[in-house]
Amino acid sequence: MGNNQMVQTDLKTLFSPLKIGAKEAKNRIVSTSHAVGWDNGTGIINERHVKYHERKAAGGAGIIMTFGSASVYEKSAASYGSVSLWNEENEPLLKELADRVHAHGALIMSQATHMGRRADSSISGRPIQAPSAIPEGVHREIPHVLRTEEIPPIVESFAEAAARLERCGWDGIEITSFSGHLIEQFWSPALNDRTDRYGGDFAGRMRFSIEVIQAVREAVSSDFIIAFRMTADPKTDALGLDQEDMLEIARILDGLGSIDMLSISGGTGATYRAQAAVVPGDTFARGTYNHVAKKMKEQLSVPVLVAGRNLDPAQAENALTNGDCDLVGMTRAIIADPDMPQLAQKGEFSQIRPCIACGECIGRLYSGMPVICTVNPAMADDSLDNLIPVQHQRKVVIVGGGPAGMEVARVSAIRGHEVHLLECTDKLGGKVYFAAMASERPHYGKHIKWLEQELDRLGANVHLHKKGTVSNVLDVNPDVVVLATGANPRSDHYITDVELLDGKVSINNKSKLLVYDREGKFRGPSIANFAAEAGASQVEIATPLWSISEDLDEMQKPELYRLLSEKNVTMSPNKNLFKTKEGTPVLEDKWTGTKRRIEKDEMIVLIGYEEGDNRLFDQLKSAAPDLEVELIGDAVSPAD
């Protein structure tokens, strides 16, 4: 939904308070729990965690949920980035964080879990634990089977974590089974083959979760919120549980009278494809799980929170008024712009920086890297969040109207500089403008559209059809020049993905394409999918790497593989591309040496063969040695 449509939307329900147990949320917007990977594997909270969650509260969200997959149990492995709720060393900053979030009128809660077989022992060295010796399809590690007497201490660890949080001034805890954690593993008839009281029939498989909830309730006061997060649609048969089973489980948990809120999403960690549905990307429908949350809300007595691609305030309002839920998780939208709630409440919709659903944030955790945001650099470096007005205005000339150049122009204008942006084409956005044409990324171009609106609002001078030449730059009489000139192909003998997307090279039902991708991320599969959708008779994607999209995270890769497989795109890893002495391109298997000559009627598209365009840097330094010139973005080093 566009910004103009949002302006017409009444957000009365979204910004109405809601009673949750004994407490009240000031509005219905929730930043749901997720890990960030800022603890260097220690599980210890630091000031960066505190600032991050405080910033969300300052932006206006009603509930701040923290610490995805936070571990309650010391004797089992957790996962990358998990905070250790069992560790008393965290208490001082737990107290500090609660105070600082409360100062902005928000409630604060922490997720709490035992990951079971979904954990990873490679870092901690502690064995993973599960109901049965059945490895997860994603992590594949064979777990230690919990003995009956080993289960009560885990139950007690949940209670101790809740008591610690309440003691530190927190408003609640979110117990979770979501994404294939230990509680869900006990529920599953496919994963739980126990014969003791924690297995067997449905009642036996429910026992562990019931004991956890009851122990937590007994450990805290009636003022303390107990939420429970679960999948409403596992998106796989691997659990032996479907939507109706999950609804029945929710009814039983609700019937205990101990839960104050149910948090609903979808997917599970049992398979790669179902795991991708846990943090649904741009190939999934907006409001991915709203329909199953609505079924639960209709049959439960407690407020229902839904998470999964509720992307903007208008959509969130519609979910509430449609009866899908009582609260809306808008985590990635808040990562993109923590001020989204207060901007929406003021009606300043066009200023909300949109999430583009690229998956870089949470997806990085699955590759063992800390969370960042593609469109909000302040998420990784909070010093960028405070743009101090300058005392002395300077004339800043930016060459290149891609996202890097546009962001420099925006920030410079906010700080009070006179900004001139030179772009040689008739449009802003650089390569992102063309990448956004791919059907699997319908939201990808929203950021450059937002940047363009912001430049207009801030009064930046944008000069289209203006080449970045020495004379054009110096004619503006700049005080400082920023070169965001991007990257150029290293070879002019092959086709680029931009040429296909731009229509400079056409595709028809007789076209044959070989995409050769040494980058190993999103671009290669994306252009292969584009070519197949455009009707090419034959599409192959080859790479010298172990697999197609080798370095793409596990949250994005499954959907790309699905798209390519559905369109019969040939995937050829471990291949080298070279030319013979006669100039004939050949694709060679790296291990067998088997060669395939590329036919003359095959178009070859190269991905990852670029170099930064920094020619203007030397030219300017030669023409004006004292001029301050900076290189940024792909002009420094091309990135995917």
Q: Answer whether CATH 3.20.20.70 is correct for domain 3-384.
A: yes
Outline which parts of the chain fall under CATH 3.50.50.60: 497-608
Question: Which CA distances in Å does 34 have to 142, 349, 546?
Answer: 25, 26, 30
| pLDDT the model gives residue 346 | 96
User: What pLDDT does residue 9 have?
Assistant: 66
Using pLDDT thresholds of 50, 70 and 90, give the confidence band for residue 122. confident
- Classify domain 387-488+612-635 at the CATH topology level: Rossmann fold (3.40.50)
The residue type found at 228 is F
Helical ranges in 150-297 per DSSP H: 151-167, 182-187, 202-219, 243-255, 272-276, 290-297
Alpha carbon distance 228, 30 (integer Å): 14
134, pLDDT greater than 90? yes
**Is the per-residue pLDDT at 577 higher than 90?**
yes
Q: What is the mean pLDDT of the chain?
A: 95
Predicted confidence (pLDDT) per residue in 482-538, tens digit: 999 999 998 767 999 999 999 999 999 999 999 999 999 999 999 999 999 999 999
**Cβ proximity of 440 and 559 under 8 Å:** yes
The span from the CA of 115 to the CA of 81, in Å, is 13
CA 584/CA 578 separation, integer angstroms: 8
Question: Is-catalytic flag, 181?
Answer: yes
Residue spans in the chain of domains classed CATH 3.20.20.70:
3-384
- In this predicted model, what pLDDT tens digit does every residue of 409-456 receive, in sequence order? 999 999 999 999 999 999 999 999 999 999 999 999 999 999 999 999
- Of these residues, 49, 114, 139, 181, which one is catalytic? 181
Q: pLDDT tier at 6 (50, 70, 90 boundaries)?
A: very low
> In whole angstroms, what is the distance from residue 426 CA to residue 498 CA?
15
pLDDT of residue 214: 98
DSSP H helices in 322-402: 331-336, 340-345, 360-363
Cite the residue boundaries of each domain of the chain with CATH code 3.40.50.720.
Answer: 387-488+612-635
Check pLDDT > 70 for residue 4: no
CATH of 497-608, one of 3.20.20.450, 3.50.50.60, 2.60.120.10, 3.30.230.20: 3.50.50.60
Of 129-133, 470-474, 635-639, give the lowest mean pLDDT range: 635-639
375-394, pLDDT tens digit by residue? 999 998 999 998 999 999 99
In percent, how much of the chain has pLDDT > 70? Answer: 98
- At 640 the pLDDT is 66
Instruction: Supply φ then ψ for residue 563, to 5 degrees.
Output: -60, -45
Q: Give the model's pLDDT for residue 254.
A: 98
Q: What is the mean pLDDT of residues 143-164?
A: 98
3-state secondary structure of 544: coil
What's residue 123's pLDDT? Answer: 77
Report, as an integer, the average pLDDT of 21-29.
98
Q: pLDDT, tens digit, for every residue of 232-276?
A: 999 999 999 999 999 999 999 999 999 999 999 999 999 999 999
CB 343 within 8 A of CB 349: yes
- Once rounded to an integer, what is the mean pLDDT over residues 307-334? 98
Residue 1 pLDDT more than 50? no
Q: Is the pLDDT of residue 220 over 80?
A: yes
